[in-house]
Amino acid sequence: GEDVEQSLFLSVREGDSSVINCTYTDSSSTYLYWYKQEPGAGLQLLTYIFSNMDMKQDQRLTVLLNKKDKHLSLRIADTQTGDSAIYFCAESQTGANNLFFGTGTRLTVIP
């Protein structure tokens, strides 16, 4: 079955860049996503990338995909205290709709 792994914690200073990493095992993963979850809230879709892309940039967010190593990363530039949250990596396959989530990375931004 699908397995998506993330490190559990990351701390950065305000203004620095954050890099959150994710690895997945299913080579047929076609769509990869990053979701953000703030305390007591549902999951908010931040960005997604198709498996035929290497990089996607959206304002402060940069997603890098290394399909050969099955490695996905999310870089947040100029990290702010409002970015403190849990970040989930998720993947799905073409024609399927079930999202398989990682365990989440808790990002703490230190003022």
Partner 1 sequence: EAGVAQSPRYKIIEKRQSVAFWCNPISGHATLYWYQQILGQGPKLLIQFQNNGVVDDSQLPKDRFSAERLKGVDSTLKIQPAKLEDSAVYLCASSFRDSNYGYTFGSGTRLTVV
**Residues at the site binding partner 1, with contacts judged by CB under 8 A:** 4, 30-31, 33, 35, 40-45, 48, 88, 90, 92, 94, 97-99, 101-104
Token pair listed for 13: 């200073």
Measured from the CB atom, the residue of 65 and 88 that comes closer to partner 1 is 88
Token pair 């999310």 in the structure block, residue: 74
Measured from the CB atom, the residue of 17 and 28 that comes closer to partner 1 is 28
In whole angstroms, the minimum distance from the beta carbon of 33 to partner 1 comes to 5
Nearest to 86 by CA among 106, 68, 100: 106
Q: How many CB atoms lie within 10 A of CB 23?
A: 17
